[in-house]
């Protein structure tokens, strides 16, 4: 499949794009998506490597931090309201790791615009590690430690690529993606209101993931990797807000026919099907992003439903070839993210076909994505 952005009509509002340009624009935005994250992230680890800290004039600092050692090397601090933490020029972010050092209070607050992320380190501080990382343009505040001592490691985060990640770029990309996906969903809904009840836009879109699936691999969002995970996280936020269905599935294509030549392709070592007589493309074991089952088998179209314009141009994963009769069968396996417009779920999903879903029930489906 192509790995570069594709051309679309310039300066055309998303809502006015035709089906082809909508898919091209969606491909471009997902391809270029810098991050599916947020302005700040945090977590807790019960186990982590010891950092091997030492202090001149004191020696090694054992962890968890004992009060006698803390009294010798630390001064109990009041609230520190530092606003923008000083960072080295060129850094794109900051990382703070709270080491095992029993304390109460000392909550961390990161703010960007009207958004706030709070990290409470006290409850886990006796034996666990916690961290928070944020972009450089995010305001950061540490509240007062009420008892005990809080020991942290602070790092500047650098990015080697020429084009640096920024919180502004992150939200600009996510905003454009939300506008496009919302425009697609609205266009489908408008088309459905017509007398023909047929949509000019595809009601289901499948995006092929970069990660190659294993035979029995589970499909929950937690098993996605790299850019696939970032794309899924970003789309999940958008789909929850708009009522669009978002799923993950294995895709299987079986294509068969005959070839005139009994010699395989020199580069790919498979035979080209010159006279096709059967072709099926199925979404197998489609699930919500939390792993809950949705459907076993859904047939889709190569030309209508894929975000990528050439979804099978990398060739088959497996081939069966009958040299006596020249019969060829190609097998493809992929993992895909699937979006279904909110008013069209009953067209695709067995669970939506009975009784017709009301608007209230569609909202219940959205909750299942979380």
270-308 pLDDT, tens digit each: 888 888 899 999 998 899 988 888 998 999 999 999 999
Nearest residue to 121 via CA among 140, 85, 97? 97
Cis peptide before 142 (omega within 30 of 0): no
pLDDT tens, residue by residue, 156-207? 888 776 455 555 566 677 788 889 999 999 999 887 655 555 668 899 999 9
**Residue with the two structure tokens 């081939």:** 319
Q: Residue 325 — pLDDT band, cuts 50, 70, 90?
A: confident
Does the model's pTM come out above 0.85? Answer: no
pLDDT for position 164: 53
Strand partners, 225: none
Q: How many residues appear in the chain?
A: 370
Q: Report whether 337 contacts 250 (CB < 8 A).
A: no
Please answer whether residues 195 and 51 qualify as being in contact, where contact means their C-beta atoms are separated by less than 8 angstroms.
no
CB atoms closer than 10 angstroms to residue 153: 13
Distance CA 51, CA 42 (A): 19
Cβ atoms within 10 A of the Cβ of 133, count? 18
Q: How far is CA 198 from CA 133, 194, 206, 285, in A?
A: 47, 7, 19, 27
Q: How confident is the model at residue 8 (pLDDT cuts 50, 70, 90)?
A: very low
The answer to whether 341 and 28 have CB atoms below 8 angstroms apart is no
Q: Please state the φ and ψ torsions of residue 93, each to the nearest 5 degrees.
A: -165, -175
Closest CA to 307 of 53, 21, 12: 21
H or E stretch covering 236 = helix 226-242
Average pLDDT over residues 345-355: 72
């Amino acid at each position: 499949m192509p790995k570069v952005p594709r051309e679309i009509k310039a300066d055309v509002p998303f809502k006015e794009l035709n089906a082809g340009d909508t898919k091209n624009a969606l491909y471009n935005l997902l391809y270029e998506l810098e991050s599916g994250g947020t302005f700040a992230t945090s977590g807790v680890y019960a186990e982590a490597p010891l950092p091997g800290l030492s202090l001149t004039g004191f020696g090694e600092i054992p962890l968890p931090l004992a009060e006698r050692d803390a009294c010798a090397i630390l001064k109990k601090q009041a609230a520190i309201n530092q606003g923008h933490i000083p960072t080295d020029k060129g850094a794109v972010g900051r990382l703070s790791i709270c080491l095992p050092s029993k304390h109460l209070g000392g909550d961390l607050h990161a703010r960007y615009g009207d958004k706030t992320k709070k990290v409470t380190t006290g409850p886990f501080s006796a034996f666990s590690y916690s961290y928070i990382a944020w972009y450089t343009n995010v305001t950061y505040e540490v509240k007062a430690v009420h008892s005990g001592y809080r020991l942290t490691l602070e790092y500047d985060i650098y990015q080697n690529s020429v084009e640096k990640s920024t919180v502004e770029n992150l939200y600009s990309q996510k905003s454009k993606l939300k506008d496009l996906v919302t425009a697609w969903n609205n266009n489908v809904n408008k088309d459905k209101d017509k007398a023909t009840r047929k949509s000019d836009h595809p009601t289901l879109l499948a995006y092929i993931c970069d990660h190659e699936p294993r035979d029995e691999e589970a499909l929950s969002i937690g098993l996605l990797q790299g850019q696939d995970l970032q794309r899924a996280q970003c789309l999940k936020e958008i789909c929850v807000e708009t009522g669009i269905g978002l799923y993950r599935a294995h895709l299987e294509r079986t294509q068969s026919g005959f070839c005139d030549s009994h010699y395989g392709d020199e580069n790919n070592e498979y035979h080209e099907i010159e006279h096709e007589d059967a072709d099926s493309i199925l979404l197998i074991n489609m699930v919500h992003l939390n792993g809950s089952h949705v459907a076993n088998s859904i047939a889709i179209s190569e030309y209508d439903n894929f975000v990528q314009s050439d979804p099978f141009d990398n060739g088959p994963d497996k081939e069966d070839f009958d040299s006596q009769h020249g019969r060829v069968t190609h097998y493809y396996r992929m993992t895909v993210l699937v979006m279904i417009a909110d008013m069209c779920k009953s067209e695709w999903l067995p669970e939506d076909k009975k009784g017709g879903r009301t608007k209230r029930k569609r909202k219940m489906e959205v909750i299942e994505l979380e």
